[in-house]
Structure 1
Amino acid sequence: MVEYRALAEAIRGVLLRGGVAPRRQVLPIPGGEFLVMPAADGEVAVCKLVTVEAHREPRVQAEVWARRLATGEVFHLPGEEITRRRTAALSLLAALVLAPKREGALLLVGPGAQGEAHLEAFHEAFPLSRVYVRGRGRERVEALLGKAQGMGLEAVEWTGEEVPEDVAFLVTATNSPTPVLPERVPPGVFLAAVGSYLPHMREVPEALLARAALYCDTEDALLEAGELQGVGRPVVPLKEALLGRRAEGEFVLFKSVGHALFDLAAARAYLGLG
């Protein structure tokens, strides 16, 4: 297992050093979609294959193939685990760079695999005072609360209408096509919206978006993320944020839809290349 901070640093390295990755190909299949995501740099070439099928569990299944270019070695890597951990590590990197607060409560909306990974990542890097969880599946909500409590954290279900004032870090990780948050969050919150990845999906309401300092994982998110369609002000890609560019707003919204460059970074970390 590669630690989340190590994965975050691998992502930082790939973004700053550069790599080649076309936009992902999305093909219709019966009952879902098939995604192909290649990427390469001077040392490693990778391709992730993903199927998204609403009638299956887990809904998203993935595998990653990586080739070390100097030796020709080929590796079959655990795609679902890489996707789970690199997505949370990406949010963590953005939080380490952009979050106005360095400690406080974590609110997780969506108690699935990504909610769990983000709990692990943020617990690894920040002193969390409390964990709030919201979700539709009772068993998953209770399982995530139990996991947080097993990590020594106070954890409760969020059932209110307003985001609690002690929340410093907020993660939405759902496949909802409609907003899952109210129209206000406490000032200074870092919000990672990682669930929606298509133009018709929107986890964050427009009124909330209008008050946010806007960031995204790559410029592809401007075309793919429902929240960012038609936004009439700058959205700062994470690479530019790493170089010092900043957006203005009452709180930070980091929108990620995923990208093959992050799979490349994760493969490098899993192969010990950093």
Structure 2
Amino acid sequence: MTDSPILLSAAQTAARLPYPALLQEIERLLGDASVQVPQRQVLPLAGGGSLFVMPASDRRVAMTKLITFTPANAGTTRATIQGDVVVFDIASGERRLVLDGPTVTARRTAAVSVLAAQRLAPHTRGPLLIVGAGVQGKAHLDAFADILQVREVLIASRSASSADALARHARSMGLKASVVQDANAALADCPLAVTCTPAHGVVLDSLPRPDAFISAVGAFTPQMVELGSDLCRHFAQQGAVFVDTGDASHEAGDLLQAGLDVSRFATLADVLAHDTQRPAGPVLFKSCGWAGWDLAAARTALAQ
């Protein structure tokens, strides 16, 4: 082992994952035939939590994300997602980095949402509606402002203090920001929206505008939900639905609870491989998470 530090804090992890580089690496990974991503293992824990084990590899790098998801921590000072991403060199077997798991999860999820918006959203400059003002809400605000140059955000959250804090953060970046009480009403004013809540229940159910793009990232198990069933069916019938990976066919609670055949929806890899044109009508991008996104983050961190 070298003398170089390999255990990175949250801030050090974020510094290794600038959004432009992370987006480029995600695109490269989706075209890399050497990438292997087995299905993640989810171990239920006493008290309603879960342990996620998410490995992936390519020709040079192997990594595993090991995190706990503790819904009971929502609304407390403890994070709902905690853990690490351990990165290994395949040739030597040497451990190269240990990244902060929640930071990797937040930044790679936001980067995937932005990449989908770049390719599929009818209008990419906003205003942007953010539903959920936690870690993912902040990451999406930062990513959409950095990559898509969004300059106005509307923020809806069950926690007024969290919404106010995220609005202050947006203003510190030079953005116009306002807190809204009714996310459904605000949807009419926003061609871009992201839902990144703990997914305890439906937070959006009004019909979208014809040029809407929604990235829904909060629900990543069949039991979780953020979007109303009628809303999901409206996208499928009047617009288009895309998913991050094929694993969404058994993970996308919003779509599964709406009775939709998720396996028929194109993935982000399909979009890139076929250079899919922006579809007519509203677009829903459903993201459930994938260890491949964490591998892209690991590759980005090593390159930095």
**Which residue of the other structure, out of 42, 49, 55, is the alignment partner of 2:59?**
42
Counterpart residue number, 1:250: 281
User: For residue 44 of structure 1, what is the amino acid of its counterpart?
Assistant: V
User: For residue 143 of structure 1, what is the amino acid of its counterpart?
Assistant: A
**Which residue of the other structure, out of 204, 210, 219, is the alignment partner of 1:181?**
204
User: For residue 237 of structure 1, what is the amino acid of its counterpart?
Assistant: T
1:6 matched to 2:21: yes
The whole-number CA distance in structure 2 between the counterparts of 1:130 and 1:97 is 20
Q: How does 1:63-82 map to 2 (within 5 A)?
A: 63-74=84-95, 75-82=97-104
Q: Tell me the number of residue pairs that the alignment of Structure 1 and Structure 2 aligns.
A: 273
Counterpart residue number, 1:104: 126
Counterpart residue number, 1:27: 43
User: For residue 235 of structure 1, what is the amino acid of its counterpart?
Assistant: F
The whole-number CA distance in structure 1 between the counterparts of 2:101 and 2:261 is 36
Q: How does 1:231-246 map to 2 (within 5 A)?
A: 231-232=260-261, 234-244=264-274, 245=276
Shift of 1:221: 0.8
Counterpart residue number, 2:170: 148
The whole-number CA distance in structure 2 between the counterparts of 1:35 and 1:7 is 22
Counterpart residue number, 1:58: 79
The answer (yes or no) to whether the contact 1:38–1:47 under 8 Å persists in 2 is yes
The whole-number CA distance in structure 2 between the counterparts of 1:210 and 1:53 is 30
User: For residue 269 of structure 2, what is the amino acid of its counterpart?
Assistant: K
Shift of 1:128: 2.1
The answer (yes or no) to whether the contact 2:71–2:198 under 8 Å persists in 1 is no
TM-score (normalised: structure 2): 0.85
The answer (yes or no) to whether the contact 1:23–1:37 under 8 Å persists in 2 is yes
Shift of 1:247: 8.5
The whole-number CA distance in structure 1 between the counterparts of 2:278 and 2:254 is 16
Against the structure 1 CA distance between its residues 179 and 41, is the aligned structure 2 distance closer, same or farther, given a 3 Å change threshold?
same
The whole-number CA distance in structure 2 between the counterparts of 1:127 and 1:101 is 12
The answer (yes or no) to whether the contact 1:9–1:93 under 8 Å persists in 2 is no
The answer (yes or no) to whether the contact 1:162–1:185 under 8 Å persists in 2 is no
Counterpart residue number, 2:246: 219
Runs of 4+ aligned structure 1 residues displaced above 6 Å come to: none
Counterpart residue number, 2:297: 266
* More displaced stretch, 221-230 vs 102-111: 221-230
The whole-number CA distance in structure 2 between the counterparts of 1:55 and 1:166 is 33
Shift of 1:246: 6.1
Q: Which has the higher strand share?
A: 1
TM-score (normalised: structure 1): 0.94
Q: Which has the higher helix share?
A: 2
The whole-number CA distance in structure 1 between the counterparts of 2:106 and 2:83 is 10
- Determine helix, strand or coil for the equivalent of 1:17: coil
User: For residue 30 of structure 2, what is the amino acid of its counterpart?
Assistant: L
Shift of 1:200: 1.6
Pairwise CA RMSD: 1.7
1:15 matched to 2:23: no
Counterpart residue number, 1:201: 224
Identity, % of aligned pairs?
A: 39
Q: Deviation string for 1:162-185 (max 9, x for gaps)?
A: 234431210000122322113211
Structure 1: 5+ residue runs without aligned partners?
A: none
* More displaced stretch, 48-57 vs 91-100: 48-57
Against the structure 1 CA distance between its residues 232 and 27, is the aligned structure 2 distance closer, same or farther, given a 3 Å change threshold?
closer
Shift of 1:197: 0.8
Structure 2: 5+ residue runs without aligned partners?
A: 1-14
